[in-house]
Amino acid sequence: MSADLVERLFERYYSGEKLRRGLFDAIASWRPPARVLYPGGFIHVAASFVFPSVTYVDNDRNAKRFFARMDDVQRLVSRHKDYEGSPHIVFHGSSYESPLAEEDESFDLLISLYAGFISKPCKRYLRRGGVLAVNNSHADAGLASIDPEYEFIGVVRGRGDSLRVDETELDTYFRPKKAQVVTEALLRERGRGIAYTRTAPVYLFQRVV
């Protein structure tokens, strides 16, 4: 995989609105993290355009090939980053459910987007007071909402790249449309979450325990 192919592969998957840089900009403006853990992120290195230190975890074959050309990945990120200094990028080519060669409670931000139930197995790496940014495409936000070790503290709202963190009216979220008891077993069985009366693109939780 040449340097050109590294960029082409990234553009293939994350061009246009799929880049989702606005999400990272919104979080950085709200609570800039020193270290970020991004499990199941494939090759979504747009996180490194905004955050200087990001650790990626994915066992996909193409992700392993992509990050094997780390010098080229670094050059790609350096062309797009908006902070001083060199990007610090680490990649673990394994399942995020397996133990990682990382210290517990050593990250400030844990990202869970479109990759399954990350909030539970990767919680150990998030420091107390650290933030989980999660969507609900695979019910992970719903799982975090019933986890007593997380506190729901905000959502990311807006359109396109014009996103912002909103910390108001949080009690209006995670209300099921149907009367039912939301449990981990239910969410895992469904795999795609349940319907809530109010939703947001991304939910923010703070680890409290």
Q: What is the largest CA-CA distance in the chain?
A: 54
CA distance 60 to 58: 6
Angle at which helices 3-14 and 61-68 cross, to 10°: 140
Residues 6+ apart with CB under 8 A from 52: 81, 83, 85, 87, 88
Per-residue pLDDT, 24 = 97
User: Phi and psi of 184, rounded to 5°?
Assistant: -60, -40
Per-residue pLDDT, 3 = 62
Each domain of the chain, given as residue ranges in start order, spans 3-207
CA distance 66 to 17: 21
Per-residue pLDDT, 1 = 58
Q: Which residue(s) pair with 204 in the sheet? A: 133, 154
Size of the chain in residues: 209
Tokens of 38: 């991004």
Per-residue pLDDT, 200 = 96
Per-residue pLDDT, 147 = 98
Per-residue pLDDT, 161 = 80
SS (H, E, C) 180-205: CCCCHHHHHHHCCCCCECCCCCEEEE
Q: Write down the CATH number for the domain with range 3-207.
A: 3.40.50.150
- Block means of pLDDT (10 residues each) for the chain, length 209 residues? 81 92 97 98 98 98 96 96 97 98 98 97 98 97 98 94 95 95 94 93 97
First-to-last C-alpha distance (Å) of the chain = 43
User: Phi and psi of 139, rounded to 5°?
Assistant: 75, 10
* Backbone torsion region of residue 160, taken as left when φ is above 0, otherwise alpha when ψ lies between -120 and 50, otherwise beta: left
CA distance 8 to 82: 21
Residue with tokens 């799929």: 18
